[in-house]
Amino acid sequence: MTTAYLYAPLFLEHQEYGHPESPERLNAILRTLDETALLPRLMPLEPAPATEAHIEAVHTREHLARVKQLVARGGGHFDPDTYANEYTLDAALLAAGALVRAVDAVIAGEVDNAFALVRPPGHHATRTRAMGFCIFNNVAIAAQHALEAHRLERVLIVDYDVHHGNGTQDIFYDSPRVLYFSTHQYPHYPGTGDWREIGRGEGLGYTANVPLPAGVSDRGFQYIFDELLVPLAERYSPQLILVSAGYDAHWSDPLAMENLTVAGYGALARTLVALARDLCGGRIIFTLEGGYHLPALAYGVAATCHALLGDENIPDPLGASPHPEYAFDAVRHYVEHLKGVHNLV
- Give the mean pLDDT of 26-39: 98
Chain segment 260-294, per-residue pLDDT in tens: 999 999 999 999 999 999 999 999 999 999 999 99
CA separation for the pair 249, 239 (Å, rounded): 28
Structure confidence at residue 325 as a pLDDT band (50, 70, 90): confident
Indicate whether this model's pTM tops 0.85: yes
CA separation for the pair 210, 334 (Å, rounded): 9
If you average pLDDT over every residue of the chain, what do you get?
Answer: 97
β-partners of residue 157 are 180, 242
Structure confidence at residue 190 as a pLDDT band (50, 70, 90): very high
CA separation for the pair 129, 135 (Å, rounded): 8
State how beta strands 178-185 and 207-212 pair.
parallel
Structure confidence at residue 2 as a pLDDT band (50, 70, 90): very high
CA separation for the pair 325, 340 (Å, rounded): 26
- Give the mean pLDDT of 24-51: 98
Predicted pLDDT at 285: 99
Distance of CA 283 to the CA centre of its chain: 15
Going by C-beta distance under 8 Å and a sequence separation of 6 or more, which residues neighbour residue 339? 227, 228, 231, 345
Predicted pLDDT at 239: 98
165, 185 contact by CB (below 8 A): no
pLDDT tops 80 at residue 249: yes
CA separation for the pair 12, 24 (Å, rounded): 8
Chain segment 58-97, per-residue pLDDT in tens: 999 999 999 999 999 999 999 999 999 999 999 999 999 9
Chain segment 156-169, per-residue pLDDT in tens: 999 999 999 999 99
221 to each of 162, 171, 279, how far by Cα in Å? 11, 25, 21
Per the annotation, the verdict on 124 as an active-site residue is yes
The maximal CA–CA distance of the chain, rounded, in angstroms, is 55
CA separation for the pair 162, 212 (Å, rounded): 9
H or E segment at 66?
helix 61-72
Residues of the domain holding 305: 3-341
Number of domains in the chain: 1
Would you tell me how many other CB atoms lie within 10 Å of the CB of residue 325? 15
Q: Which of 14, 59, 124, 184 is catalytic?
A: 124
Chain segment 105-123, per-residue pLDDT in tens: 999 999 999 999 999 999 9
CA separation for the pair 273, 154 (Å, rounded): 17
Closest CA to 303 of 232, 239, 230, 250: 250
Closest CA to 329 of 219, 202, 225, 239: 219
308, 116 contact by CB (below 8 A): no
**% of the chain exceeding 90 in pLDDT:** 97
How much helix, strand and coil, in percent to the nearest 5, is found in the chain? 45, 15, 40
Closest CA to 45 of 338, 335, 333, 285: 285
Predicted pLDDT at 1: 77
Predicted pLDDT at 327: 81
pLDDT tops 90 at residue 298: yes
pLDDT tops 90 at residue 324: no
Q: What is the CATH number of the domain that holds 29?
A: 3.40.800.20
